[in-house]
Structure 1
Amino acid sequence: MSASVFVVASLNQADAAAPSPAGPNLAVMNATGNHTMGSMVRLHEPGTQVSEDQVPHLMATVEGIDVASYQGNVNWSSWWGAGKRFAYVKATEGTGYTNPYFAQQYNGSYNVGMIRGAYHFARPDVSSGATQADYFISHGGGWSADGKTLPGALDIEWNPYGGDCYGLSKASMTNWILSFSNRYHSRTNKWPAIYTATSWWSECVGNSDFSSTNPLWVARYATSAGTLPYAWSVYTIWQYSSSGGMDKNQFNGAYDRLQAFATNHD
Structure 2
Amino acid sequence: MTDYGIDVSHWNPVNDWNAVRGNGITYCSFKLTEGTGYTDRTSGPRVPAARLAGVVPGGYHFARPGNADAQADHFASHLRQNNLHTNGSLAPMLDMEAAELRGTANDFVPRFIARLRAATGVHKVLVYANLDWFTHVLNPGKWADDGVLLWIARYNGNPGNPGWTHPKLALHQHTQTGTVPGIGGSVDRNATIGQFALSHLTINGGNAPAPQPVPPTPTPPTPPTDTEIYTVRAGDTLSAIAARYGTTVGALAALNGISNPNRIYAGQKIRIRGGTAGGQRYQVRSGDTLSGIAAKFGTTVAALASRNNIANPNRIQAGQWLTIP
Same fold (TM over 0.5): yes
| Alpha-carbon contact 1:73-1:101 (below 8 Å) kept | no
2:176 to 223, 242, 247: 242
Between structures 1 and 2, the one with greater strand share: 2
CA–CA separation in structure 2 for the residues paired with 1:71 and 1:167: 26
1:44 maps to what in 2?
none
The one-letter amino acid paired with 1:178 is P
1:198 maps to what in 2?
131
2:105 to 170, 173, 176: 173
2:39 maps to what in 1?
98
2:204 maps to what in 1?
264
1:215 maps to what in 2?
149
Q: What are the ranges of 5 or more consecutive residues in structure 1 without an aligned counterpart?
A: 1-59
The one-letter amino acid paired with 2:117 is H
Cα deviations by residue, 1:26-75 (Å, 9 ceiling, x for unpaired):
xxxxxxxxxxxxxxxxxxxxxxxxxxxxxxxxxx2111111100113442
1:16 maps to what in 2?
none
- Decide whether aligned partners of structure 1 residues 78 and 151 sit closer, same or farther in structure 2, where only a CA change above 3 A counts: same
Question: 1:104 offset after TM fit, Å?
Answer: 2.5
CA–CA separation in structure 1 for the residues paired with 2:176 and 2:190: 9
| Alpha-carbon contact 1:72-1:101 (below 8 Å) kept | no
The one-letter amino acid paired with 1:237 is L
Within a 5 Å distance, the mapping from 1:76-225 to structure 2 comes to: 76-123=17-64, 125=65, 127-140=66-79, 143-147=84-88, 149-157=89-97, 159=98, 164=99, 166=100, 169=103, 172-187=104-119, 188-206=121-139, 208-213=141-146, 214-222=148-156, 223=158, 224-225=161-162
> Identity, % of aligned pairs?
26
| Alpha-carbon contact 1:61-1:250 (below 8 Å) kept | yes
- Decide whether aligned partners of structure 1 residues 249 and 207 sit closer, same or farther in structure 2, where only a CA change above 3 A counts: closer
CA–CA separation in structure 2 for the residues paired with 1:208 and 1:181: 14
Residue aligned with 2:94, SS: strand
| TM-score under structure 1 length normalisation | 0.65
Within a 5 Å distance, the mapping from 1:31-50 to structure 2 comes to: none
CA–CA separation in structure 1 for the residues paired with 2:101 and 2:142: 21
- Decide whether aligned partners of structure 1 residues 146 and 112 sit closer, same or farther in structure 2, where only a CA change above 3 A counts: same
Question: 1:93 offset after TM fit, Å?
Answer: 0.6
- Decide whether aligned partners of structure 1 residues 95 and 144 sit closer, same or farther in structure 2, where only a CA change above 3 A counts: closer
| Alpha-carbon contact 1:64-1:87 (below 8 Å) kept | yes
- Decide whether aligned partners of structure 1 residues 179 and 196 sit closer, same or farther in structure 2, where only a CA change above 3 A counts: same
2:246 maps to what in 1?
none
- Decide whether aligned partners of structure 1 residues 207 and 190 sit closer, same or farther in structure 2, where only a CA change above 3 A counts: closer
Bigger CA drift: 218-227 or 70-79?
70-79
| TM-score under structure 2 length normalisation | 0.54
CA–CA separation in structure 2 for the residues paired with 1:253 and 1:206: 21
Q: Over aligned residue pairs, what C-alpha RMSD do you find?
A: 2.4
CA–CA separation in structure 2 for the residues paired with 1:183 and 1:122: 14
Larger C-alpha radius of gyration, 1 or 2? 2
The one-letter amino acid paired with 1:130 is D
The one-letter amino acid paired with 2:71 is Q
Question: 1:234 offset after TM fit, Å?
Answer: 4.1
The one-letter amino acid paired with 1:77 is N
Residue aligned with 2:198, SS: helix
| Alpha-carbon contact 1:128-1:179 (below 8 Å) kept | no
Question: 1:146 offset after TM fit, Å?
Answer: 2.6
Residue aligned with 1:209, SS: helix
The one-letter amino acid paired with 2:68 is G
